[in-house]
Structure 1
């Protein structure tokens, strides 16, 4: 039987890195939604460009 590719600690590190990457994406998307919905430059909430 071949040895496992990752030990127990390696799997935990990989899981933690994937969880961190997912949370960074979620935080960035939430921040973008907040910035787009509360613009001080465009108080009527009209889409200017993009």
Structure 2
């Protein structure tokens, strides 16, 4: 029983780490795209 619990804990910890690192990639992406578009629009105005 202890082994199974330990395996479960390691699995959930791995999933949390994966979600966090994915979050660091996914969250900045829309912001980056948004600023790229705004910069492009400003360039078009000039």
Q: TM-score, normalised by structure 1?
A: 0.64
CA RMSD of aligned residues (A): 2.0
CA distance in 2, matches of 1:21, 1:35: 22
**Which of structures 1 and 2 has the larger relative contact order (alpha carbons within 8 angstroms, sep 6+)?**
1
Where structure 1 has 5 or more consecutive residues not aligned to the other structure, the ranges are: 1-5, 46-50
* Aligned residue pairs, count: 38
Higher helix share: 2
Where structure 2 has 5 or more consecutive residues not aligned to the other structure, the ranges are: 42-46
